[in-house]
Every structure is written in structure tokens, then in C-alpha cells.
């Protein structure tokens, strides 16, 4: 493991994370609503076109340190554990839609299909090209987890949403390229984190929905870096 590689990956994460607050803010809307066209606090409209999306720093009036910290941590951990392998750039780039999904789910309990698809295809295609022998296990992991989560989502009480099902299947597919232990660690960590959050809310006697997307994404990072 090279310290220069870890530093570079951490800096990449910080730089990429600086551009995420505005994108996440504009996409943090209820299902079916259009992306925000202006700041909800000051009513300042976002510029039209790409300039309204590509912006480093806070979305407008809201802070933007969270995504920078999350991306920096993800980049450093991936570089430290994976080292200089061809898969490292793939996972570093995949962290960008991953952090976006976590931010949106925390804000409005929604996991946009386009972002989930971007994560799955944007990382899945290069991983398949780098390790064609792992395509079958990866597909099997995605199908099994997707089917299991869909069965849970169909149960009374709706413990999972369809966005969680799709994201869980996509992450299991990507983890499948690293092997079944990575899939097991990723899913196990996700459920441990979600269970801890549910327990905390019970202790505080607060009944509210818990977004599962951030736990799934944190679990995927654990699966990649802990196995």
C-alpha cells in the first residue's frame, strides 16, 4: 500500500465531494416532483443548463462539508485496502453516485432509478471487462439479493421500498466481482447499521422511517475494504 496513492485517492474524493451538494440538493424532492429550480431558503434560482448543476461548494444556503468528508473517507479506505489495482479507479468513480444516493435518501427517503442505474452500469461494465470470469457469480449475487429483498418488500408493513430492492441488487452485483465473502460482509454490515439506527430510535421513543440506502452503501464499502 502506497501512502501517495492513499493521499491521491483522498484528494480525489474531497474534490469530487465538493461538487455533490448542489446536485443532491436539487434532486432531494418527493417522488414524481421535478428537480429543484431554486433555493428553498432564499428563493434564488439556479442558473440554467450545466451551470446550475456543476458547482463546487454549498448548494446555496446549505452547507457542503458532509459529502467532502464522505468521499474523502471512501477514497482513502479504498486506496488503502485495495492498493494499485485496475479496479480501484472504478470503485472511486462509483463512490460519486453512491454518496449522492445516500444524501438523497437521507433527505427524502428516495433512491432515484437513474442514479442506481448509473452506479450499477458505470461500475459493472468495467468490472466485467476487468474480470470476465466473475460475471456469473456477480449476476447470481444480484439476482439472489434482489429476489430476497423484493420478497421482503412485498410483506405487510413494507419494511423495504422498491428503491432499496434495486439498490441492494445493484450493490450485491458489484460486490459479487470481489467474491461471496464481500457480498456477505456488505449485506451483514448494512443490516447491522440499520438495526442500530432502529434501536436508537426506539430508545429515544421516536417513530420515523429509516432510510436503508446509506446503510447499504456503507455496507458495500465495508465489503470491499474488509475482505
Q: Where are the domains of the chain?
A: 3-226
Confidence class for position 219, pLDDT limits 50, 70, 90: very high
Mean pLDDT throughout 120-127? 98
How far is 175 from 169, CA to CA, in rounded Å?
A: 10
Asked if residues 212 and 160 have their Cβ atoms less than 8 Å apart, the reply is yes
* pTM for this prediction: 0.95
User: Do 70 and 185 contact (CB within 8 A), yes or no?
Assistant: no
Residue 109 is predicted with a pLDDT of 94
| Predicted local confidence at residue 126, as pLDDT | 98
Rg (CA), the chain: 18
Weakest-pLDDT range from 73-77, 152-156, 158-162, 197-201: 158-162
Q: What is the mean pLDDT of residues 185-212?
A: 90
For residue 211, which of 194, 191, 188 has the smallest C-alpha distance? 194
Confidence tier at 206 by pLDDT (50, 70, 90): confident
Whether the per-residue pLDDT at 115 is higher than 90: the answer is yes
8 A C-beta contact, residue 128 and residue 135: yes
Query: Tell me, what DSSP letter sits at residue 21?
Result: H
Whether the pLDDT of residue 64 is over 80: the answer is: no
Run of H or E residues at 81: helix 65-82
Confidence of residue 212 (pLDDT cuts 50, 70, 90): very high
What size, in residues, is the chain? 227
Mean pLDDT of 15-23: 95
Amino acid at each position: 500500500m502506497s501512502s501517495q496513492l492513499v493521499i491521491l485517492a483522498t484528494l480525489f474524493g474531497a474534490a469530487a465531494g465538493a461538487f455533490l451538494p448542489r446536485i443532491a440538493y436539487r434532486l432531494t424532492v418527493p417522488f414524481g416532483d421535478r428537480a429543484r429550480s431554486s433555493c428553498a431558503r432564499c428563493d434564488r434560482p439556479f442558473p440554467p443548463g450545466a451551470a446550475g448543476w456543476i458547482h463546487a461548494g454549498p448548494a446555496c444556503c446549505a452547507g457542503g462539508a458532509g459529502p467532502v468528508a464522505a468521499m474523502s473517507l471512501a477514497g482513502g479506505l479504498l486506496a488503502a485496502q485495495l492498493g494499485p489495482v485496475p479496479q480501484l479507479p472504478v470503485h472511486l468513480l462509483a463512490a460519486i453516485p453512491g454518496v449522492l444516493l445516500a444524501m438523497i435518501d437521507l433527505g427524502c427517503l428516495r433512491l432515484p432509478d437513474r442514479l442506481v442505474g448509473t452506479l450499477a452500469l458505470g461500475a459493472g461494465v468495467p468490472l466485467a471487462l476487468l474480470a470476465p470470469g466473475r460475471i456469473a457469480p456477480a449476476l447470481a449475487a444480484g439476482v439472489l439479493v434482489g429476489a430476497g429483498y423484493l420478497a421482503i418488500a412485498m410483506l405487510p408493513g413494507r419494511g423495504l421500498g422498491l428503491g432499496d430492492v434495486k439498490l441492494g441488487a445493484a450493490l450485491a452485483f458489484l460486490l459479487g466481482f470481489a467474491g461471496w465473502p464481500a457480498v456477505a460482509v456488505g449485506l451483514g454490515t448494512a443490516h447491522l447499521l440499520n438495526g442500530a439506527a432502529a434501536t436508537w430510535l426506539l430508545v429515544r421513543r421516536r417513530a420515523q422511517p429509516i432510510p436503508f440506502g446509506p446503510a447499504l452503501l456503507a455496507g458495500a464499502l465495508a465489503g470491499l475494504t474488509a475482505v
